[in-house]
Structure 1
Amino acid sequence: MNAIASLELKKNLQDRGLLFWTLILPIVFTVLFIAVFTSGAGETESRQVISSIVPGYTIMFVFFIMISMTESFIKDRDKGMVARIASTPLSPYLYILGKWIPFIYIVMIQIMILLLFGKTVYDIPLEQPVYLLFLSVLLTFTVTGIGLALAVIVKTNNMGIALTQVIALGGAMLGGLWMPVDMMPDILQTISAFLPQYWGHQAFQDAMAGTLQFADFLQISLILSGFGLSGFIAALLGYPNFLKRAKG
């Protein structure tokens, strides 16, 4: 497992495309949309917009890691790596963990850098850093857990890219990352409560402002953990079919 994790991490650190998706594009979008939505606004309104956009775009773009996860699993499947591993004593559980851990590191680093960018450039408040740290871990678990399920279930890279965009962009739109949830129609507000993006965004905003209560933190932690755990279980259940499609 450690060898798989080490190799996967090394490959991803050398991937310039991953750097673009995880850091460059989120920063560009954040700067652009803050400039657009704060143009002509007063100081109070600008602070509210910034405090929504920074965590909102952070949460939206962490979901794009699922493209890299899908590509990595499919490469292993099509190049015979999965078939070779299946002939060794290494269990599917340990193989999946070995593939999972590097992406956990990457997403955690991504979240930290984007929040520090917001703090350095826009002086966003970080009033409850301990909560923010735990929420970052939970969000990472959620995103990469869903990514595992997607990587094992999809059959092609194009399908993985398409579904990632549906999850990332659709979840951003319905989860209140693009506009406040209370400005959306009632039916969309109801749908948003079933999305991890909604819960993550609300929690990050409250923790940044220093208003996140412990009871709310526990509730959101359970919800986000449930999404991530469901993805991991789905990946384990879908692995036999993934193995059947493996070459070699």
Structure 2
Amino acid sequence: MTSQQPPLWRRALAELIGTCLLVAVVVGSGIAAQQLSPNDVGLQLLENSTATVLGLTVLILVFGPVSGGHFNPVVSAADWFLGRRHGTGLNLTELGTYAVAQVAGAIGGSVLANVMFDLGTSISTKDRTTPGHLVAEAVATAGLVLLIFSLARTNRGLLAAPAVGAYIGAAYWFTSSTSFANPAVTIGRIFTDTFAGIAPVSVPGFILAQIAGAALGLGLLLALFPAAGSAADDVVVPHRAKETA
């Protein structure tokens, strides 16, 4: 028996479909929440966050064994950064391929959600750029990176699906931005003028805050787990498939 990762095209397909479905869950549940609870924003957020927690957990379980279930360019970039000294994780070609697949999938997810609810695809007008939102995105992304890579380093990568789902669900509520924590998802949510949308003018600030948060999360990770890069192949889910030689 030999142990190797699936070919890049299969991993890219998993990232594209997984990110597409993730954004469809986020946007679609936001639309449903608006329709079901039109006069209660708190209940809308509860409905949206609950669907996201469950959907994200399931998607990581489904696609994680193929691609790692990143669905997030900052997670993929952190995987490359940590693994480059240890010969683990993504290389630059794989990182670029993952990022393109994730962004394309995220845009497709918004379009899909709009279609499912008989809405036309339109550019969001929801401005989310405030200092509080940007700090929230940095905090949310730092926590996400620290969580994912600390689980991998301590041989608990198989807990990533429920742990990441739970963290994002909690961060919906303890951050003012509702925890996008993902540049691809942020770009994808431009293409829906609904509950989960974000105006294009807000996107650059969000992405910069997410990058800063990822850097902070990596700094904390290396302070706590200096050899974290050795486990980069187990992010988010161990994905080395055993095949018969």
TM-score, with normalisation over the residues of structure 1? 0.46
TM-score, with normalisation over the residues of structure 2? 0.46
Does 1 or 2 have the higher relative contact order (CA < 8 Å, sep 6+)?
A: 2
Q: Higher helix fraction: Structure 1 or Structure 2? A: 1
